[in-house]
Chain A
Amino acid sequence: MGNKGTLRVIWPPAALSLLGLAAWQLVSDLGLIEPWLLPSPLAIAREALAIAPRLLEHAAATAQLTLIGFAAGTAAGLALAALLHLLPGVKAALYPLLVLSQNIPIIVIGPLFLIWFGFTLLPKVLLVALVCFFPVCVAMLTGLAQSDPHLAEYMRMIGANKREMLWKLELPNAMPYLFSGLKIAATYSVMSGVIAEWIGAEKGLGYFMLLSSKGFQPARVFAAVALVVAMSLALFAAAAAAERLFIRWRPAGGDEGGRPK
């Protein structure tokens, strides 16, 4: 799980990406695609460098929105998970509705939030928080409920009370689940931030993309896309690093996958 392992996981997709970029550049250089339809990677890079200060300003706005929304969504997800875990009756009533609520497209909720809360940061943060909230809440609830039955039986046999069951068994057991949820939320958060800006904002990468697209400047759209991808990856990597820092006990290779090693 050390640096060596990380490198081993990263190099195949990195090599493939480089190969793809090279092919793309080649196709552009040979004049097979019109540059106003699809600019070459080098042209995109040149354009990005040329407008770097503006681009970074928009990126900073998106990062701020994303991080606040991610934090708020995570906090709300954890709070609701704790509440539902401690009140099984409420969980039975609310949990199916929670799942159902995920079928409402955020592209519909976004404009509604704008109407309700105005053109401030609040409706956009709420949108990101709403997206991050669900994976964190569900992962935490699952983790709290999925304690090893042998461990639970042992704890009861030696006389552990409800509080001890929660703090010494259920919470530690839920930590790997929580981090899985955090990684999913981290991936979604940047994208939902961009959508929020798309719907209504005067700065941010989402706004910039919309503007560039309408102005027939595909190189700028692609530059913004590259930044969005980079931000998503960075947030995911941060969540994964936090996971590695907190969870040192899991046997190497003995996890249930979906986790970069």
Chain B
Amino acid sequence: MKDAVPALEIAGLRKSFGRGKTSREVLGGVSLTVNEGEFVSLIGPSGSGKTTLFRLIGGLERPDAGDIRIGGRPANGRRGLIAYMPQQASLMPWRTVAANVELALEIAGVPRREARTQSREWLARIGLGDYAETYPHLLSGGMQQRVSFLRALLAPQPLMCLDEPFGALDALTRLKMQRWLLSIWEQNRRAVLFVTHSIEEALLLSDRVLVLSPSPAAVIYERKVPFPRPRDEALWTSPEFNAIKQDIYERLQAYGEVGEGAR
């Protein structure tokens, strides 16, 4: 696995906003790697530039310095190379659930007919088959996020970027969604970069956890998560889980700030 080309490689990424005295450096040399089939979580205090980092990876902004490589190819300022799941479900209210899933595939260049077959098949598989022809406002928040995740999962780009996808859900729904995402991902391993505020969520899902400093952001700590897969929430009671959690918590606290949801 290690000698393969990483799904995402970021080296020395810098980005500032504004000019002169009001200039603020948001990213102060971020470097990280996500390998093929690896689930990597990014934890950092609020305002640590995670959104900016995602916009750079998505190609909406260009870095001031540094390199982004996706699947080995230079990706600075290049769009359409990632599958993306935002914090808000962001489903088009005028498209049916199935048509929303197809939208992501159409824009990625998947032929319409194939997109249709895939969306039907997968909506049925995740238990939303009955909702394929309804409009998104009839779905609960958790169901909308499932559709949003499915949209990213089916997109053909090998790298998935998930930007705090469960941040807006209530605690119980969030728990269910973590378990659900885990089961789908473990059958279907893709390279994932996952931003979260919750250490527990990161530990449950990831192969590796990266800790960001407050801005200007840099990766200050990296921790492998050694638990075997498939995982379940029984993990939370294990002493090792709590030891790692404590360890990451202290790293975050060393910078004087702890994100919400980290306990």
A159 touches B79 (CB 8 A): yes
Residue pairs across A and B with CB atoms within 8 Å: the count is: 63
B86 touches A154 (CB 8 A): yes
CB distance from A27 to the nearest CB of B (A): 51
The listed residue with most B CB atoms (<10 A of its CB), out of A157, A158, A254, is A158
Residues of A within 8 A of B79 (CB): 156-157, 159
B84 touches A158 (CB 8 A): yes
User: Please, how many angstroms separate the alpha-carbon atoms of A64 and B59 in the complex?
Assistant: 54
Q: Does A67 contact B (CB under 8 A)?
A: no
Q: Does A8 contact B (CB under 8 A)?
A: no
User: Please, how many angstroms separate the alpha-carbon atoms of A156 and B71 in the complex?
Assistant: 20
Q: Does A151 contact B (CB under 8 A)?
A: yes
Residues of B within 8 A of A159 (CB): 59, 79-81, 107-108
Binds B, one of A35-43, A93-101, A168-176, A209-217: A168-176
Residue of B nearest to A154 (CB): B90
Given A159-B107, A164-B107, A254-B137, are A150 and B83 neighbors across the interface (CB < 8 Å)?
no
A160 touches B93 (CB 8 A): no
Scan residues 206-261 of chain A and give those whose CB is less than 8 A from a CB of chain B. Answer: 247-251, 254
Residue of A nearest to B163 (CB): A157
Scan residues 95-143 of chain B and give those whose CB is less than 8 A from a CB of chain A. Answer: 95, 103-104, 106-108, 135, 137
User: Please, how many angstroms separate the alpha-carbon atoms of A159 and B161 in the complex?
Assistant: 13
Residue of A150, A158, A250 touching B104 (CB-CB under 8 A): A158
Residue of A nearest to B88 (CB): A150
CB distance from A164 to the nearest CB of B (A): 6
User: Please, how many angstroms separate the alpha-carbon atoms of A155 and B151 in the complex?
Assistant: 12
Residue of B nearest to A175 (CB): B94
Residues of A within 8 A of B11 (CB): none
Given A156-B58, A157-B82, A157-B84, are A249 and B107 neighbors across the interface (CB < 8 Å)?
no
Secondary structure at the B interface, as helix, strand, loop or mixed, is loop
A: interface residue count bin: 20 to 34
Residue of A nearest to B51 (CB): A153
Q: Does B248 contact A (CB under 8 A)?
A: no
B107 touches A150 (CB 8 A): no
B94 touches A158 (CB 8 A): no
How does the 8 Å CB contact mask read for B61-102 relative to A, with 1 for contact and 0 for none?
000000000000000000111111010101011110000000
Residues of B within 8 A of A250 (CB): 93
Q: Does B171 contact A (CB under 8 A)?
A: no
Residue of A nearest to B87 (CB): A150
Q: Does B202 contact A (CB under 8 A)?
A: no
Given A168-B103, A249-B135, are A158 and B80 neighbors across the interface (CB < 8 Å)?
yes
The listed residue with most A CB atoms (<10 A of its CB), out of B59, B82, B107, B135, is B107
Residues of A within 8 A of B58 (CB): 156-157
Residues of A within 8 A of B90 (CB): 148, 150-151, 153-154
> With contacts A153-B86, A156-B60 known, what are 17 further pairs, Cβ within 8 A?
A150-B90, A153-B60, A154-B86, A154-B90, A156-B79, A157-B161, A158-B108, A159-B81, A164-B107, A169-B92, A172-B94, A173-B94, A175-B94, A249-B93, A249-B135, A251-B135, A251-B137
**Can you give 10 A-B contacts (C-beta < 8 A)?**
A153-B60, A153-B86, A153-B90, A156-B60, A157-B54, A157-B86, A158-B82, A159-B108, A168-B103, A175-B94
The 8 A-B pairs of least Cβ separation, nearest first, read: A159-B80, A251-B137, A154-B90, A159-B79, A157-B58, A157-B84, A249-B94, A172-B94
